[in-house]
Amino acid sequence: MKVVLLGAGASKAYSESSSKVRMPIAKDFFETFRKLEISENTWVLIGFIINYLKQYHHIHTFEQFDNLSIDIEQIHSEIEQRLKDFLETKEESKEVDAGIHLCFKAYTELIFLFSSVINEIQNGPVSKAHTNLVKDLNSDDVIVTFNWDTLIDRALLKAKNWNCFTGYYVRPLAVYQDQWNYADNHSKACDAPLLLKLHGSTNWLTSAPIIEGKKWKSIQELSNDNFCIYESNVRPYPTYDGRYMNGYQDFSFGYYPVNLPLKGVNLPDGYLLTRTILRTGHNPKGETEDVGLTSIPLIIPPVKNKNYDYFGAIFDGLWNKAEQSITQADHILIIGYSFPETDYKSDLLFRKAFSKRSDIPSITILDPNPERIVERFNLNYGIPTEKIKIIKGYFSETFDLNNA
């Protein structure tokens, strides 16, 4: 049994994007955003991000924002921490309320923006590198990824008997395939490698959140571990304010995802959930329906303190299955994952998995700078160098799994 572990370096291999841009890393995210056509689209919301930067980083103009070089992980983590501080304070004041509103809106805008950049770049032909990788995997193999993109998902769908209903291990409520198809009607297991997305996915959808009584709350009636998946559409789908954007390949969509086929949360008697949409000549209403519940990509964003618990049992199940798979694997292949020092959860994942093993698996590391990763496997996980094969280089369509 093989476990293939994918990091950001695997996504960087994709060069077929219609945008002619490659996937960003944390340090060049905003620079990458500025290269994309969506940076000129008025439906793409960045107002609260700019207002936050204006208040806390003295970024006062769009020109300064256009030249922004800040690390997205750093700024998203900072906003998350400041929001947490506002929510936990016992102080009641207009300043606290304004701080909560600003940080919450900036935080959610960054989730949409982050997902949108990925969607724009993965919008192209199915990745040759990822297709070449999965064609030599068997149904008992497991792919574990820390990436949010759907490059590997599309490759599995094309090259293997894989599907969105059972292929992610966690089961969605429904999958959008030009209409909502419910998972209860598609229970057949995949005869294909399992795909474990430990940080969620840009095509996984949950309801848009709100802040109520200083608590982060979902607007869907069902519990937070009920989620949906977008796969494809031919006809325009219903979305927020009718703002459907066309021209996207399967597993990718414009800034606004399809609305969910869910009921909204019940409100106390006398309360009404409302929303305000600012309408200008540069921000017109869309032309499609706006029925169903407003959705947001279900991702664990690149922040320091990742909140997995908000989504109930989804991520517990994924991480436990990943640990089990690493414990049982004969061969572990690591592609483009650098084991960052701040990602304590992934470090713990490997510590726990290797501590349960009675033998030592073979390890292959594909990375242009593998030395620090090898050192971690030696010192932290007790894997001797002779059990580690190093392929110093980048992941590409020429990579041969059989020689790994």
* Per-residue pLDDT tens over the stretch 334-389: 999 988 877 889 999 999 999 999 999 999 999 999 999 999 999 999 999 999 99
Q: Which residue has the tokens 């077929």?
A: 16
Question: Would you state the structure tokens that stand for residue 123, as one six-digit string?
Answer: 């919008």
**Is 90 exposed, middle or buried (CB count within 10 Å of its CB: 0-12, 13-18, 19+)?**
exposed
Going by pLDDT thresholds of 50, 70 and 90, the confidence category of residue 273 is low
Amino acid identity at 297: P
Secondary element (H or E) of residue 206: strand 200-207
CB 327 within 8 A of CB 149: no
Contact 137, 401 (CB under 8 A): yes
At residue 112, φ and ψ (nearest 5 deg) are: -60, -45
Say which amino acid occupies 350: F
pLDDT for residue 403:
87
Checking if the pLDDT of 120 tops 50, the result is yes
Q: Give me the pLDDT at residue 282, please.
A: 60
Overall average pLDDT of the 186-199 stretch: 88
Q: How large is the average pLDDT for residues 262-281?
A: 59
Q: Averaged over 314-326, what is the pLDDT?
A: 97
How big is the chain by its Cα radius of gyration, in Å? 21
User: How many residues appear in the chain?
Assistant: 404
Q: What digits encode the pLDDT tens for the residues 55-108?
A: 999 877 666 776 778 889 999 999 999 999 999 999 999 999 999 999 999 999
CB 88 within 8 A of CB 109: no
pLDDT over 90 percentage in the chain: 77
Return d(Cα 74, Cα 64) in angstroms, integer: 18
Q: Hunting for tokens 């007790």 — which residue is that?
A: 382
Q: Is 332 exposed, middle or buried (0-12, 13-18, 19+ CB in 10 A)?
A: buried
Q: What pLDDT is stored for residue 186 in this prediction?
A: 79
Give mean pLDDT, residues 43-51. Answer: 92
CA distance 309 to 312: 5
As given in the structure block, the two tokens for residue 45 are 């919301």
What is the residue whose two structure tokens read 């086929």? 261
Nearest alpha-carbon partner for 9 in 403, 404, 402, 399: 399
pLDDT of residue 21: 96
Q: What's the pLDDT score for residue 246?
A: 95
Q: Which domains does the chain have, with CATH numbers?
A: 2-13+128-170+189-199+310-403 (3.40.50.720)
CB contact at 8 A, 292 and 327? no
